Amino acid sequence: MAQLKTGMWVDALMRRAQVGGAYACVIHRGDRDAGTVLVTVRSREVLSIYTPERDMDGARVWRGEELDEAGLAATIKSRLDFDSDLIVVEIEDPDGRHFIEEAVLTDQEAREDAAELEAAAKALFRGR
């Protein structure tokens, strides 16, 4: 399946946020053709970061995590040290909406996925 170039995906995300009444901007510009994207969301009370990953079927999903200001800065810095092509989008929305259309895993779903992966690995390597 063909995937949108990163820049087009970022533009669409920012447009959805703006149409939804939120403020969105790129706080670090990376490779618009194939860079990875991090999405940060500032709400009234919570600061969150969303990172892409692949699920067991190879589909892109997003994992959300709540952080404090220092944790967010450290996460972005460490990712930028590793990947200079990274694009970081910040969304300010009073309701904390992320405007990501792909699946977004909650903390509970992430724990269930980890447990499922662990069980599959144990079954695969049982008896070896």
Mean pLDDT of the chain: 88
Report whether pLDDT(113) > 80.
no
Give the separation between CA 58 and CA 75, rounded to whole angstroms: 25
Residues 6-125, CATH architecture: 3-Layer(aba) Sandwich (3.40)
More confident residue, 107 or 44: 44
Confidence at residue 59, expressed as pLDDT on a 0 to 100 scale: 84
Half-sphere exposure of 118 (CA within 13 A, CB side): 6
Phi, psi of 61 (to 5 degrees): -130, 165
Sign (positive or negative) of CA dihedral 11, 17, 21, 22: negative
Phi, psi of 35, deg, nearest 5:
-70, 160
pLDDT at 54: 85
pLDDT computed for residue 107 by the predictor: 62
pLDDT in tens, 35-81: 899 999 999 989 999 999 887 788 889 999 999 999 999 999 999 99
CA Rg value for the chain: 16
The answer to pTM > 0.85 is: no
For position 109, what pLDDT does the model report? 60
Domain segments of the chain as ranges: 6-125
